[in-house]
Amino acid sequence: MERISIVGLDIAKRVFQVHSVNEKHEVVTQKKLSRSELLIWFTKLEPCLVGMEACATSHYWGRELKKLGHEVRLIPPAYVKPYVKRQKNDRADAAAICEAVTRPAMRFVAIKDKDQQAVQVLHRTRELLIRQRVQLGNALRAHMAEFGWVFPLAMVGLAQAISAVRETSDTDLPVFVRQVLLGLVDQIDTVQKQIKSLDQQMIAWHRNHAESQRLATIPGIGVVTASAIVAAIGDGKQFRSGREFAASVGLVPRQNSSGGKDRLGRISKQGNSYLRQLLVLCATTQLRGKCPEKAAGGEWFGQLLERKSARVASVALANKLARVAWAVLTKGENYRPVRTVISPDGVVTVAA
C-alpha cells in the first residue's frame, strides 16, 4: 500500500468518509468506513496528518487518533466550505478537509481533553435547566394571569407566584386549576434543586483548577465564567493574541471595509455565543458598582461611561475582559490591577 501522508476525515455517527493523499498530493484512498472499522484502519497506517471538521464528536476522535501517533488538526466547518467542489456530499467534504488542512494560513481548533468536555457538559446542562425554569415560570404566570393574578418579573415575582399557588384557598382558584399549577410548582422546585446541585459541582471543580482560580481574580469574573472559559479554550495558547480570543466570541466590530477605507459596525456576534453572553453579563455587573474605575478597564472604563451609553460601554468592557482573561491564562499569573499615576510635573505612568 502506498504511504499515506495526509488524511481528510468526514465524521458522522455511523459512517465515516476517508480521503487520503500521498506526499505528492496524489489521491490514494477514497472509501467509507463504519464506526467499528475506523480505528482499525488508522491503526494500520504510519503516523500521518489527519484533518477533521470541529464538531461535537471530533474532540473524542482527535484524542483517540493522537493515541495512535497521528497528528490531528480540527478545522472550523466554515473554513472548509470554500474548498468543497461543486455539490456537497460526504466524499466531497472529505476531499475538501484534506485540502484545507494543508493550507499554511489555516486556523485550527485545539482538541479538548476529557476534563474540559466534562465541564462543558455541566455548563450546557445548567443552561438547559435555566431555560426550563424560565419556561415553567412563564407558564405559571400566564395561567394565573387569566384569573387576575399578576406578579413582578424576575425571580422575585416567580417566588411570589409560587407562594400564591401554595397558599391560595380553593375558593380563589378552581380546584383542578390549582392542582395543575401545583404540578408546575413541583417541577420548578425540582429544576431549582438540580441547578443548585450543578452550581455546587461547578464550585468544587473550580477550587481544584488553578487556571479557573486565576481567572476569578479578574474583577467581575466569577466561578461560572471562569470555568466556562477554561472549558472552552484551555490555556488559550491556540490564540496569538487577546484580540483573536475576543474575535472568537464575537466581541470585535464587524468589518465592511474596501478600497483602503475601514468601515466598522456593531460587534460580529460570531463564535461562542455562550461565552459572549457570560462576558457581557460580567461587564454589566461592573455598571452597578459604586466605583466603575475599579473594573478590569480601570479609569478607561469610567471615562468611556462619560462618553458612551451604558450598553456600549459594557460590551466594550466585555471585549477588554476577554483580552485580560487570555493574558491571565497564557502568562499563568493572577490579575494585577493597573492604575494610572500622574506626577506633579504632569508625567503619566502606569503601575500595577
Percent of the chain exceeding pLDDT 70 equals: 92
Across 29-43, 122-136, 146-160, 215-229, least confident range? 146-160
Give mean pLDDT, residues 124-134.
Answer: 96
Written in H, E and C, the secondary structure of 101-129 is CCCCCCCCECCCCHHHHHHHHHHHHHHHH
Q: At what angle do helices 114-145 and 154-167 cross, to 10 degrees?
A: 60
pLDDT top residue among 342 and 255? 255
| pLDDT of 348 | 45
Residue 294 confidence (pLDDT) above 70: no
Angle at 90 between CA 88 and CA 93, to 5 degrees: 65
Residue 47 confidence (pLDDT) above 60: yes
Task: Give the pLDDT confidence of 303-316 residue by residue, as tens digits.
Answer: 888 888 888 989 99
| pLDDT of 17 | 96
Percent of the chain exceeding pLDDT 90 equals: 67
Give mean pLDDT, residues 99-111.
Answer: 93
Task: Give the pLDDT confidence of 173-202 residue by residue, as tens digits.
Answer: 788 888 899 999 999 999 999 999 999 999
CATH class of the domain comprising 6-100 = alpha beta
Written in H, E and C, the secondary structure of the chain is CCCCCEEEEECCCCEEEEEEECCCCCEEEEEEEEHHHHHHHHHCCCCCEEEEECCCCHHHHHHHHHHCCCEEEEECHHHHHHHCCCCCCHHHHHHHHHHHCCCCCCCCECCCCHHHHHHHHHHHHHHHHHHHHHHHHHHHHHHHHCCCCCCCCHHHHHHHHHHHHHHCCCCCCCHHHHHHHHHHHHHHHHHHHHHHHHHHHHHHHHHCCHHHHHHCCCCCCCHHHHHHHHHHHCCCCCCCCHHHHHHHCCCCEEECCECCECCEEEECCCCCHHHHHHHHHHHHHHHCCCCHHHCCCCHHHHHHHHHCCHHHHHHHHHHHHHHHHHHHHHHCCCCCCCEEEECCCCCEEEEC
Q: Rounded distance, CA 163 to CA 158, Å?
A: 9
Across 84-98, 117-131, 227-241, 292-306, least confident range? 292-306
| pLDDT of 300 | 79
Q: What is the pTM of this model?
A: 0.86
| pLDDT of 347 | 47
Residue 352 confidence (pLDDT) above 80: no
Residue 6 confidence (pLDDT) above 60: yes
Across 169-173, 200-204, 289-293, least confident range? 289-293
Residue 262 confidence (pLDDT) above 90: no
